A and B are shown apart, each in its own frame.
Chain A
Amino acid sequence: MTVERRGFHVRFLKLWLPLGVSLIFALFPFYWMAITSLKTNQELYSRKVMPLVVHNPTLKHYIDLITETNFLEWTWNTFIVAVMSTAISLIFGAMLAYPLARIRFAGAALVSFAIAATYLVPQPLLFVPLADLINKLGLGDTLTSVILTYPTLLVPFCAWLLLGYFRTVPSDLEDAARIDGASRLQTLIKIVLPLCGPGFISAGIFAFTLAQNEFLYALIFLTKTEVRTVPVGAVAELVRGDVFYWGQLMAAALLGSIPVAIIYSFFVEHYVAGLTAGSVKG
C-alpha cells in the first residue's frame, strides 16, 4: 500500500506536474485565441467583465472570415505550398545527409559547411535580388515561386537533422546488406530510410510548419488574393491600419492550425509505432 502511494507520488512529480505546467503554458494562448474569436467586439473591449470566459458567444467572426475573405482558398494554397516544399526539402535533405553521414569523400567538409552557410544569407534584406530572380524566371504570382524558394530555408536544417539520425543507424546493418549484394541506393532505401522514420517526421514537421508560416517571401512573390497563403492573406485583409479585426484574426489562427495539429497527431502516433518495430529488429 505504501509502495503504491509512493509510486503515485513519484509519478505525479515525474509526469503529471511537469506535463500539466507545460500544457498550460503551451495551450493558454490558444484558449485565449479561442475565447477572443468567440466574443463580440463589445465584450472584447470591455474591461468590466471577467476576461477569461465568454459571456455572449458568437460565431460572427468565423462566418465573416469564411464569407468575406478568401480564407478557404488561402488555406488550400498554404497546404499545397507546405506539402510541396516539404517534399522537396526532405528529398534534398536526405540526398545531402546520407553521403555526409556514411561516406568519406573528397569535398565532404566543404559541402557540409556550404549547406549550413545558406543560413548566413540574411533573408529580411536579400529578398530583393531573389525577387528579381523569380521575375526573370517568370514565376511571379505563382505558387511555384514559393515552393521553390522555401526549400532554401528548409533544406539545410533537414539535411543536418537527418545527418544526425543516419548516424544513429548501426553500420553493421548496412554492411550486412551490402555483403548480400545490395547496391548503395538499395541499402539506403530499404535499410536506412525505414529506420530513420522519426527523423523524417521530425524534419518534415519542421519544414511543413516553417513553410506554412513564412511571411516575407509570400508577401513579395504572391500578390494576387487568389494565390496568397494564410499569414499574408489574413494580415492583408484583417489588419487594417491601426484597427485589427481581432476576432477574425484569432479565428483564422485557430482554423489554420488545428487541422495541421490533427495531421501531426496521426504522424506522431505513427512514428512511435514504426520505431518500436524497427528497434526490435535491430
Chain B
Amino acid sequence: MTAESLASVAAHRRPAFSLGRWLERGGVFAWLMVLPPVLFLVALVGYPFFYGIWLSLLNRPVAATGTFVGLDNYINAWNDPVFWQVVLNTFVYTAVATVLKMVGGLGLALVMNQDFRFKNLTRALLLLPFIVPTVLSTIAWQWILDPAFSVVNWTLVATGLVEKPGPSWLGNPHLAMASLIVVNVWRGLPFYAITLLAGLQTISPELYEAATIDGAGTWGKFRYVTLPLMKPVIFIVTMFSVIFTFADFQLIYVLTKGGPANATHVFATYAFDIAMGGGQFGQGAAIALTMVPPLALLILAMAIYLRPSKS
C-alpha cells in the first residue's frame, strides 16, 4: 500500500519526490506511527492468544501431549452447573461494581473539582487504595472482614443491633459477593474519580459562563455542558472498568478463592483453578475463552463509538 502510493506520487506529480511531503500524507504518517506498537502487541499477545484457542480444542493435561477433541471442552462447560454459576457470579460482580464505581467516581470527581484547601493532598490521599499492591491490601481486608475484628460488627454489636459475632462477611454466600464488590469498588473508585476529574478539568470555564448567561442552573450546567463533554472519557473508563472487573483475579483469589461453595467463583478464578490446580489446560482455556464473546461485543461497541472523527 505504501509502495503504491509512493509510485503514484512519483508518476503523477510534477514536483520531485520529497520525503518530507510523503511523510505528511495522512495515511503514511498514521501507519508509521501505529505500526511499531501494533507489531509489539501482535508479537507478545497474538501468539498466546491463538495458542489459547488451539488449547481449548484439545484434551491437554499438564506436562503431557494433547489430543484433539473438537468442541468437547465447550460442551462440557455448557453442561457444568458450576460453570453457569460462575457466569452468573461474574455478571453480577461486574455489573454492580461497575455501576457503583461509575456513579461514585463521577460524583467524587465533581466534588473534587471544587476549590478547597488541601485539594492536592486530598486528591493524592484518595488515590491510595489504587496505589497499594492489591495482594497486600486484600490481605488487610481479610482481617477487616473477619467478624471477630470487623469494625462494622464491633459497632453493630456495641450498639446492640445484632448479637455477637454479627454478620459473617465472607461465610454467607450473598454477603461474600457483596463484600468482594465493596473491596473492588474501594480499589477502583479512586482511579475512576481522578480520571474523570482530569476530564472535568479540560472543560473550558467559558462554557459554564455561557451556560450561566443562558440561565442554566447547577443541574442544567451538568446536564448540558458537563455530561456531553465528558461522554467520551466516561465511556472509555467504564468500558475498561468492565473489562478489568470481568477478568478480575487477584482480589477474589486472595479473599475467598471462589468460596463459599462457589458463591464467588468468577471466570478467571475458575479457569485458573482448572488449568493450574486441576492440570487440565484444554478445559481451562475453553472456560477462559468463553469470556471472549461478551467482552468482544463491548470492545466492538467501543470501537464503533470512538471511530476516527471526520475532522
Q: Could you tell me which A residues sit within 8 Å of B by CB distance?
A: 14-15, 18-19, 22-23, 25-30, 32-33, 36, 47, 51-52, 92-93, 95-96, 98-109, 111-130, 133, 148-149, 151-152, 155-157, 159-161, 163-165, 167-168, 171, 183-185, 198-199, 201-202, 205-206, 209, 212-213, 215-216, 230-231, 234-235, 239, 244, 246, 249-250, 252-254, 256-257, 260-262, 264-265, 268-269, 271-272, 275, 279, 282
Bound-complex Cα distance A155 to B224 (A): 32
Given known pairs A92-B37, A129-B48, A212-B133, the reply for A246 and B143 (CB within 8 Å) is yes
Question: What 20 new A-B contacts, CB under 8 Å, besides A119-B295, A271-B198, A275-B202?
Answer: A15-B116, A23-B126, A51-B149, A105-B308, A114-B38, A118-B41, A120-B295, A124-B288, A126-B285, A167-B232, A201-B198, A205-B191, A213-B135, A215-B250, A239-B139, A257-B131, A261-B127, A268-B120, A269-B120, A279-B204
Bound-complex Cα distance A30 to B123 (A): 15
Bound-complex Cα distance A126 to B272 (A): 10
CB pair A231–B128 under 8 Å, yes or no, is no
CB pair B148–A126 under 8 Å, yes or no, is no
Bound-complex Cα distance A18 to B104 (A): 10
For A282, what are the chain B residues with a Cβ–Cβ distance below 8 Å?
204
Q: Which residue of A lies closest to B62 (CB)?
A: A128
CB pair A161–B195 under 8 Å, yes or no, is yes
CB pair A101–B108 under 8 Å, yes or no, is no
CB pair B40–A92 under 8 Å, yes or no, is yes
Given known pairs A52-B151, A108-B30, A149-B44, the reply for A205 and B135 (CB within 8 Å) is no
Give the contact-size bracket for chain B.
Answer: 35 or more
User: B258 interface residue, CB < 8 Å from A?
Assistant: no
For B29, what are the chain A residues with a Cβ–Cβ distance below 8 Å?
99, 103, 184-185
Q: Can you identify 15 A-B contacts, CB atoms within 8 angstroms?
A: A51-B151, A92-B37, A92-B40, A99-B31, A111-B34, A122-B52, A122-B247, A185-B29, A209-B131, A213-B133, A253-B137, A257-B133, A264-B127, A268-B124, A268-B127
B155: shortest Cβ distance to chain A, in Å? 10
Contact of B303 among A26, A116, A124 (CB under 8 A): A116
For A47, what are the chain B residues with a Cβ–Cβ distance below 8 Å?
148-149
User: B11 interface residue, CB < 8 Å from A?
Assistant: no
Given known pairs A95-B37, A98-B33, A201-B198, the reply for A33 and B140 (CB within 8 Å) is yes
For A159, what are the chain B residues with a Cβ–Cβ distance below 8 Å?
37
Given known pairs A121-B48, A121-B52, A265-B121, the reply for A234 and B136 (CB within 8 Å) is yes
CB pair A126–B52 under 8 Å, yes or no, is yes
Which residues B118-167 have CB closer than 8 A to chain A? 119-137, 139-141, 143-144, 148-149, 151, 154
Contact of A103 among B108, B307, B308 (CB under 8 A): B308
Q: Which residue of A lies closest to B49 (CB)?
A: A121
Q: Could you tell me which B residues sit within 8 Å of A by CB distance?
A: 1, 20, 23-24, 26-27, 29-31, 33-34, 36-38, 40-41, 44-45, 47-49, 51-52, 104, 107-108, 111-112, 114, 116, 119-137, 139-141, 143-144, 148-149, 151, 154, 186, 189-191, 194-195, 198-199, 201-202, 204-205, 229, 232-233, 235-237, 239-240, 243, 247, 249-250, 267-269, 271-272, 275, 281, 284-285, 288-289, 291-292, 295-296, 299-300, 302-303, 306-311
Contact of A100 among B121, B296, B308, B311 (CB under 8 A): B308
Given known pairs A103-B30, A253-B136, the reply for A115 and B41 (CB within 8 Å) is yes
For B295, what are the chain A residues with a Cβ–Cβ distance below 8 Å?
119-120
Given known pairs A29-B141, A33-B140, A122-B288, the reply for A234 and B122 (CB within 8 Å) is no
CB pair B47–A129 under 8 Å, yes or no, is yes
A180: shortest Cβ distance to chain B, in Å? 14
Number of A-B contacts (CB under 8 A): 320
Q: Which residue of B lies closest to A201 (CB)?
A: B198
CB pair B36–A26 under 8 Å, yes or no, is no
A10: shortest Cβ distance to chain B, in Å? 10
B62: shortest Cβ distance to chain A, in Å? 9
For B144, what are the chain A residues with a Cβ–Cβ distance below 8 Å?
28-29, 32
For A257, what are the chain B residues with a Cβ–Cβ distance below 8 Å?
128, 131-133
B238: shortest Cβ distance to chain A, in Å? 11
CB pair B44–A148 under 8 Å, yes or no, is yes
Most buried by A among B107, B127, B232, B300: B127
Given known pairs A205-B191, A256-B136, the reply for A155 and B33 (CB within 8 Å) is no
